[in-house]
């Protein structure tokens, strides 16, 4: 929020060109061979939720595969790289990239141009997806889009100053080392959980495996999840989803509620029995009225689905433009406008699969979301 009727939206660009095709978004780039980043939109919101675009500009450049992230209570966007590519590959050969990737970057919404791109190394080098900040504690929760993968939390050394470092931990189910949440779970299942330290969140090598951080947690008993993606803080807890979790491999939605400093309860809110109900959940958000909105990333036609507080799933929005996923769902600070993206092709020159940012407004208070 900017105050009054204006807001800013920081939008990821999940682009991963090979270095020889790199086209950085701006001169101030983390890696001159990185083609991803973010742009910022400034929008005026009418009382009914209708929007007018006032301007847009590049706000982060030179990163790779900026897949998701999350807003902070102090007015910035955390943009996450969903890749661990670096200057060398597994065989030791040069890749053409100038920097190690796999980090979270902070983009202040107040920035009117490209920010200084600083990787938040203490938050781990892995295939990041989303971030949610608990406003009550300042603890950050992070998802990892890999299978198997971990669910993480980051304890900052200084509240609101992520560049000052902190401690990264992975979730473990109490009493069961390496608990596998991916199958064999029942809706409503409650699991007592705790947290284990990650000793080396940023392996300092030009090449690392995608599981380098998760393997450290697993060795200490961390739980296994199936491709964690969306993550959102709400009312003292954290919602997150597993894209290929569940017996049908079409998705799970989990909720974590802290109980004390280092323990909590993990609850399975929803498990999809088929793609017709929920087809591989990806980004999600909680509505101002307590419902869930979930973007799909499965094969075929993708929907934005609504989930009522009672756990009922329904169709809300369908992508008939192309076969691309829907992503980046969030509400305006005024609670009147839903913003969602059609991801489109990773190559911006692909005219057959354009990328779009969409605003949806209306009398939300009359519905169940």
The pLDDT tens digits for 170-220 are: 999 999 999 999 999 999 999 999 999 999 999 999 999 999 999 999 999
Cα angle for residues 319, 308, 251 (degrees, 5° grid): 60
Maximum distance among all Cα pairs of the chain, rounded to whole angstroms: 59
d(CA 151, CA 221): 12
Examine the pLDDT at 346 and tell me if it is beyond 80. no
d(CA 106, CA 140): 13
At 215 the pLDDT is 98
- Residue 354: count other Cβ atoms within 10 Å of its Cβ: 13
At 41 the pLDDT is 97
The pLDDT tens digits for 289-340 are: 889 999 999 998 889 999 987 788 999 999 988 888 999 999 999 899 999 9
* Residues 140-149: b if buried by 16+ CB within 10 A, e if exposed: bbbbbbbbbb
The Cβ-side half-sphere exposure at 139, using a 13 Å CA radius, reads 21
Q: Which residues contact 91 (CB under 8 A, 6 or more apart)?
A: none
Helices and strands, number each (H, E), in the chain: 1, 22
Report the percentage of the chain scoring pLDDT > 70: 100
What DSSP state is assigned to residue 47?
Answer: T
What SS3 class is residue 82? coil
d(CA 23, CA 263): 45
The pLDDT tens digits for 230-265 are: 999 999 999 999 999 999 999 999 999 999 999 999
The pLDDT tens digits for 12-29 are: 999 888 899 888 899 999
Kindly list the distances between the CA atom of residue 310 and the CA atoms of 208, 274, 314, in Å, as whole numbers in the listed order: 42, 19, 12
Closest CA to 307 of 239, 355, 246, 353: 239
- Residue 199: count other Cβ atoms within 10 Å of its Cβ: 11
At 348 the pLDDT is 67
First to last CA, the chain: 21
What SS3 class is residue 52? strand
Examine the pLDDT at 228 and tell me if it is beyond 70. yes
Q: Which residues contact 297 (CB under 8 A, 6 or more apart)?
A: 229, 243, 279, 280, 281, 282, 325, 327
At 138 the pLDDT is 96
- Residue 277: count other Cβ atoms within 10 Å of its Cβ: 15
Cα angle for residues 31, 35, 36 (degrees, 5° grid): 100
C-beta separation of 271 from 247 below 8 A = yes
d(CA 84, CA 206): 9
């Amino acid at each position: 929020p900017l105050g009054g009727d204006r807001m800013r939206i920081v939008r990821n660009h999940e682009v991963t060109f090979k270095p020889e095709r790199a086209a950085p978004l701006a001169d101030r780039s983390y890696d001159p061979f990185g083609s991803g980043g973010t742009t910022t939109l400034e929008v005026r919101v009418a009382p009914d939720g209708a929007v007018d675009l006032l301007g847009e500009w590049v706000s982060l450049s030179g990163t790779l595969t900026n897949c998701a992230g999350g807003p902070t209570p102090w007015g910035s966007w955390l943009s996450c790289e969903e890749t661990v590519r670096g200057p060398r590959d597994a065989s030791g050969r040069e890749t053409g990239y100038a920097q190690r990737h796999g980090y979270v970057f902070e983009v202040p919404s107040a920035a009117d141009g490209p920010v200084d791109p600083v990787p938040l190394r203490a938050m781990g080098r892995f295939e990041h997806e989303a971030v949610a900040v608990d406003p009550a504690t300042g603890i950050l929760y992070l998802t990892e889009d890999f299978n198997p993968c971990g669910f993480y939390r980051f304890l900052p050394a200084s509240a609101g100053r992520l560049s000052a470092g902190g401690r990264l931990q992975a979730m473990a189910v109490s009493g069961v080392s390496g608990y596998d949440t991916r199958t064999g779970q029942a809706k409503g299942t409650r699991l007592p959980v705790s947290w284990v330290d990650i000793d080396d969140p940023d392996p300092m090598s030009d090449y690392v495996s995608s599981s380098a951080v998760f393997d450290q947690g697993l060795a200490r008993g961390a739980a296994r999840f199936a491709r964690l993606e969306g993550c959102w803080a709400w009312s003292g807890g954290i919602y997150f989803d597993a894209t290929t979790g569940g017996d049908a491999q079409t998705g799970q939605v989990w909720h974590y509620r802290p109980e004390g400093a280092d323990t909590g309860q993990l609850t399975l809110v929803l498990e999809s029995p088929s793609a017709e109900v929920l087809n591989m959940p990806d980004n999600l958000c909680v509505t101002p009225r307590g419902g869930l909105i979930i973007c799909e990333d499965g094969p075929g036609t993708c929907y934005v689905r609504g989930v009522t507080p009672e756990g009922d799933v329904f169709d809300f929005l369908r992508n008939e433009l192309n076969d691309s996923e829907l992503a980046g769902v969030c509400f305006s600070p005024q609670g009147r406008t839903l913003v969602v993206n059609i991801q489109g092709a990773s190559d911006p020159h692909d005219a057959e699969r354009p990328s779009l940012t969409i605003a949806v407004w209306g009398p939300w208070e009359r519905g169940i979301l």
